[in-house]
Amino acid sequence: MGRARPCERGPPSPGPAAPPAPPPRRARALALLGALLAAAAAAAAAQAYARHTEAQAAARQESALKALGTEGLFLFSSLDTDRDMYISPEEFRPIAEKLTGATPTASYEEEELPPDPSEETLTIEARFQPLLPESMTKSKDGFLGVSRLALSGLRNWTTAASPRAVFAARHFRPFLPPRGQVELGEPWWIIPSELSVFTGYLSNNRFYPPPPKGKEVIIHRLLSMFHPRPFVKTRFAPQGAVACLTAISDFYYTVMFRIHAEFQLSEPPDFPFWFSPGQFTGHIILSKDATHVRDFRLFVPNHRSLNVDMEWLYGASESSNMEVDIGYIPQMELEATSPSVPSVILDEDGNMIDSRLPSGEPLQFVFEEIKWQQELSWEEAARRLEVAMYPFKKVTYLPFTEAFAQAQAKNKLVHSILLWGALDDQSGRTLRETVLESSPILALLNESFISTWSLVKELEDLQNNQENPSHKKLADLHLEKYSFPVEMMLCLPNGTVVHHINANYFLDITSMKPEDVENNVFSFSSTFEDPSTATYMQFLKEGLRRGLPLLQP
């Protein structure tokens, strides 16, 4: 008998015949049906588990409310940061510190390297002048309806928590640019923002900051010199810290930075009181290996009449009534008293040559002059950091009177926003995070308008200034059209308002169905899917329709 060749089948082996295989199409259908049934079962199981989990959470919440009462549950929830209805030792730590007065050993990631007696240190000095109560809006009626207890944390904060502190130069390593990023003015994130208009915001019902990690540590330590409870990440976007290079030499960088952080001024049993400066900015000059810091300064800008946003709760839950106000803090600043220096000097054999004087004064050093090879102006660096934090600043917003002067020179309309609070801090977030960051709006504003935003208080000051009648007239025309809290106006270069819309009305109509909007001036457009963008685009175009024929040829 011959053997089967490699490409041929041999004779079938003896045994019962196998059942015929189902047709390929039927097999695929059966497999698909099985997969669908399995997916449906998995989805049902997931839904059942979710309902079970929600029921358990609701039961625990109800049990806690019965055991603790509303006020007690409020305190418990403020400590339960992970919302698991259990207080871990780490979550209980702030209460333990408050009750015992003890400060536990640092658990922060600040000791990346063992202490080195020859490493350089520098002294940072805090300068602090408390917020001026008369700058708050509620001061105009004698804080009517505001309990004294609600403002106790603010009233009691009159000095910096730590007037002086010593830091190692290496602690400032997080301010160095990322590897490969050595372009002047190119922003990078020291602490990235994790929030956006789509992610919402963090809870208001908190008293104690989470332990800082990584690059957050140095920011937290610095801000703790002002107050013991800084939150390195704000409740609202944009969070974090951004920086860019403003000067480069062979051995040194100058880094400019902008930090968004806030403070919690209350502790239980009081309700939370949030103190949110418009921004912290500043600069640091440090060696490229972060072993030497030549200069450091951090401060809250005080050139505007209002620079702090404040919010406080009147109740024991996240949905409790919240009061909002703004004010002015004259000085909130940290500055290095001198460049960093080593506490000891070692020779080549490791022997100590000298040390600090018995008085504790640092050794006297002569520092070489830094020869910068590339430099960028402070104004340009500040603008780039601002755009990184606020994309709406891709449009240049000029000071009020300067905007009208430029509109006169360029024969353009003025796009002006008049606010109770600042457009580029907490109080202006709704408008800037929606329409003003939209690409179509940015394009039209850059092409056809000169833009500006102003505080109501600033225009009131201009209105009361009799020395410049033209500026007074511009302020008069704006304030005539203003309604709380925000008014968007389109104006001729002489200040005449040709079109305007209040922010509350704008938000109302953009939340309505298109067929319910009666005024066709603010009707929706099919060009854009977002009703806010479509409505603001119509607002700008209507202003152009009314205003362009009135411009001087």
Residue with more model confidence, 526 or 57? 57
Residue 199: enclosing H or E segment and its boundaries?
none
Residue with more model confidence, 361 or 284? 284
| Polymer length in residues for the chain | 553
Instruction: Tell me how far apart the alpha carbons of residues 540 and 423 are, in angstroms, rounded to a whole number.
Output: 19
- Spatial CA neighbour of 239 closest among 191, 186, 282: 191
CA 466 from centroid of its chain's CA atoms: 39
Highest mean pLDDT among 194-208, 507-521, 531-545: 531-545
Highest mean pLDDT among 392-406, 414-428, 508-522: 392-406
Q: Are strands 449-455 and 397-398 parallel, antiparallel or unpaired?
A: parallel
- b/e for 245-281, b at 16 or more Cβ within 10 A? bbbbbeebbbbbbbbbbbbbbbbbeebbbbbbbbbbb
Name the least confident of 128-142, 162-176, 211-225, 358-372.
358-372
Check if the beta carbon of residue 119 is closer than 8 Å to that of residue 170: yes
Say if residue 110's pLDDT is above 50: no
Whole-Å CA distances, 194 to 59, 215, 299, 387:
32, 15, 24, 17
Rounded to an integer, the average pLDDT of 126-147 is 88
Dihedrals φ, ψ of 230, to 5°?
-85, 140
- Spatial CA neighbour of 187 closest among 246, 254, 244: 244
What sign does the CA torsion over 76, 79, 83, 84 have? negative
- Spatial CA neighbour of 157 closest among 298, 324, 310, 306: 310
What sign does the CA torsion over 480, 481, 484, 490 have? negative
- Classify burial at 198, counting beta carbons within 10 Å of its beta carbon; exposed 0-12, middle 13-18, buried 19 or more: exposed
Beta-bridge mates of residue 188: 243
Indicate the pLDDT class of residue 437, thresholds 50, 70 and 90: confident
User: Which residue's entry shows tokens 């309700």?
Assistant: 271
Q: At what angle do helices 439-448 and 531-547 cross, to 10 degrees?
A: 10
Round the average pLDDT of the chain to a whole number and report it.
Answer: 82
Say if residue 311's pLDDT is above 80: yes
Q: Which tokens go with 69?
A: 């009462």
Q: Which tokens go with 256?
A: 């400019």
Q: In degrees to the nearest 10, what's the CA dihedral of 88, 89, 94, 96?
A: 130
pLDDT attached to residue 507: 82
Residue with more model confidence, 230 or 64? 230
Q: According to CATH, where is 3.40.30.10 located in the chain?
A: 390-513+521-550
pLDDT attached to residue 492: 97
pLDDT attached to residue 196: 65
Concatenated DSSP letters of 469-537: HHHHHHHHHHHHH--SSEEEEEE-TTS-EEEEEEHHHHHHHHTS-GGG---GGG---TT-S-HHHHHHH
Q: At what angle do helices 456-463 and 469-481 cross, to 10 degrees?
A: 130
User: Which residue's entry shows tokens 């050794």?
Assistant: 363
Helical residues (DSSP H) of 340-396, grouped into ranges: 378-389
Q: What is the pTM of this model?
A: 0.74
Residue 397: enclosing H or E segment and its boundaries?
strand 397-398
Q: Which fold has domain 390-513+521-550?
A: Glutaredoxin (3.40.30)
pLDDT attached to residue 143: 81
Rounded to an integer, the average pLDDT of 90-102 is 56
Highest mean pLDDT among 78-87, 215-224, 422-431: 215-224
Dihedrals φ, ψ of 257, to 5°?
-135, 160
